[in-house]
Amino acid sequence: MAIDRQTIVYDGPGGPFEGVAVTDSDLDGPRPGVMIVPNVLGAKEEDSVVGERLAALGYAAFVADVYGQGKRTTRESPNPAVYMAELNADRALLRDRLFASVAAMKALPDVDGAKTAAIGYCFGGKSVIDLARAGGEVLGVVAFHGIFDAPDYDYPTPITAKLLICHGWDDPLAPPEAVTGLAAELTRAGADWQLHAHGNAGHAFTDETMAAGVRPGFAYDANAARRSWKAMRDFLAELFG
């Protein structure tokens, strides 16, 4: 196994954008592609590490950029959510940037364009649900501790991409009424959806850098992280099988 990373600069509305392709160069030929949409901070090392884990499973991973080249924040930034806020205020722009990112992934030589999916964390989880809502050209999406409010534009139904929602039940950003609201929305839209709710887990449960007690309702949870990754592996295997 030889895991390689390659910086990919691509076009889109408000671009240019800078993603990262991660593959096992010991494998030959195109393989299923999995796009990773980062959390509020934008693309960073942790997302490329997720890409390496996916590449080790035999997929061609692509870390998407929906903010724009050079637009990144940290938890120590004066306003860590500045770029996320811009897209929350313009969900149609987020949709179009997601479409551009999918197109960039499908253009990679290691990607089988007929077999693609997207996963996302926090804001990225919200983004991949929007990708499914908007009719993005992927077979399925996985949201880890995502946000569930619907966009302000009409989207096509039925939703054709399959959805796996991995949710921490104690997440203050997605309380029970938001969860049941999403379930009702996806059911009305004719989607094939699954919800895995993890008890005693809150927001950011996959983030090993999120220590308990720093922010109420936010913490890494090893059980939820492990179980949700396994659920994702099973989902992708079925999706691409």
pLDDT band at 10 (very low <50, low <70, confident <90, very high): very high
Average pLDDT over residues 1-7: 96
pLDDT at 161: 98
Distance, in Å, from the CA atom of 84 to the CA atom of 88, rounded to the nearest integer, reads 6
Dihedral angle sign, alpha carbons of residues 37, 25, 240, 228: negative
How does pLDDT run across 171-218, given as a tens digit for each residue? 999 999 999 999 999 999 999 999 999 999 999 999 999 999 999 999
Residue 116 is predicted with a pLDDT of: 99
Averaged pLDDT score across all residues of the chain: 97
What's the DSSP call for residue 69? Answer: T
HSE (side-chain half, CA atoms, 13 Å) at 210: 21
pLDDT at 20: 98
Domains of the chain from N-terminus onward: 3-240 (3.40.50.1820)
Residue holding tokens 């659920």?
Answer: 231
pLDDT of residue 85: 98
Average pLDDT (141-163) is 98
Q: What share of the chain is helix, strand, coil (3-state, %, to 5)?
A: 30, 25, 45
The proportion of the chain whose per-residue pLDDT surpasses 90, expressed as a percent, equals: 98
pLDDT digits (tens, 9 = 90+) for 88-115: 999 999 999 999 999 999 999 999 999 9
CA atoms of 85 and 22, how far apart (whole Å):
28
159 is written with which tokens?
């939703």
Cβ–Cβ under 8 Å, residues 140 and 163: yes
For residue 197, the model assigns a pLDDT of 98
Q: How far apart are CA 74 and CA 67, in angstroms?
A: 14
- Rounded CA-CA distance 173/49 in Å is 25
The Cα–Cα gap between 143 and 124 comes to 7
Angle at 204 between CA 8 and CA 32, to 5 degrees: 40
For 18-60, write each residue's pLDDT tens digit. 999 999 999 999 999 999 999 999 999 999 999 999 999 999 9
Report which residue type is found at 122: C
